[in-house]
Amino acid sequence: MLAKNPDENCEVAPVVHVAVAVIFNADQQILLTKRHASSHQGGLWEFPGGKLEAGERLGDALKRELQEELGIDVLSHHSLLRVEHDYGDKQVLLDVHSVTGFTGQPRAREGQPMRWVSVTELVDYDFPKANVAIVNVLLDGKR
């Protein structure tokens, strides 16, 4: 008899692991994009990125998402922080990396609004709740 998959009886939704990029340009500005209105946390500003695919490594997901969404190739990145957040309808783990080197000119390949902002301007934007922790470490001067 086959062993029963323990996940079958699990009613708790899995945590969604997300690669999130704080992309810096030479002027120390950060790239923001606006989430599509129909998406989870739609209409809010975000740091570019997206969900890891099954078996995918974080760095690979980061590079794939930034190529898909912005058409850039990541050259250097490092971990900034991890944020766990429960939205009620969805639980996320944001693995936030600073991207300090890339090639290509970022363009919104999925048609989303996009802009470069200084760290101090971040307080003027509406983000998903999980992003409060990210904005706070950036305001503290971490890169």
Ligand X SMILES: Nc1nc2c([nH]c(=O)n2[C@H]2C[C@H](O)[C@@H](COP(=O)(O)OP(=O)(O)OP(=O)(O)O)O2)c(=O)[nH]1
Contact residues toward Mg ion (CB under 5 A) are 50
CB of 53 to Mg ion, least distance (A): 13
Stretch that binds ligand X, among 1-9, 12-20, 73-81, 116-124 (CB under 6 A): 12-20
Among residues 50 and 106, whose Cβ is nearest to Mg ion? 50
Torsion of Cα atoms, 119 then 142 then 109 then 112, to 10°: -40
For 49, phi and psi rounded to 5 degrees? Answer: 150, -170
- Of the candidates 15, 25, 51, 118, which one interacts with ligand X according to CB under 6 A? 51
d(CA 39, CA 41): 6
Residue linked to tokens 């209105």: 37
90 binds ligand X (CB under 6 A): yes
Size of the site for ligand X (CB under 6 A): 18
Helical ranges in the chain per DSSP H: 58-70, 131-139
130 binds ligand X (CB under 6 A): yes
Among residues 9 and 38, whose Cβ is nearest to Mg ion? 38
Starting at the edge strand found earlier in the chain, the sheet holding 30-34 runs 45-46, 30-34, 114-117
d(CA 30, CA 27): 9
Choose from ligand X, Mg ion, none: what does 41 bind? Cβ within 5-8 Å by kind.
Answer: ligand X
**Which residue minimizes CB distance to ligand X?**
50
Token representation of residue 6: 């323990």
Contacts with ligand X by CB under 6 A lie at 16, 18, 20, 39-41, 46-47, 49-51, 65, 90, 92, 94, 128, 130-131
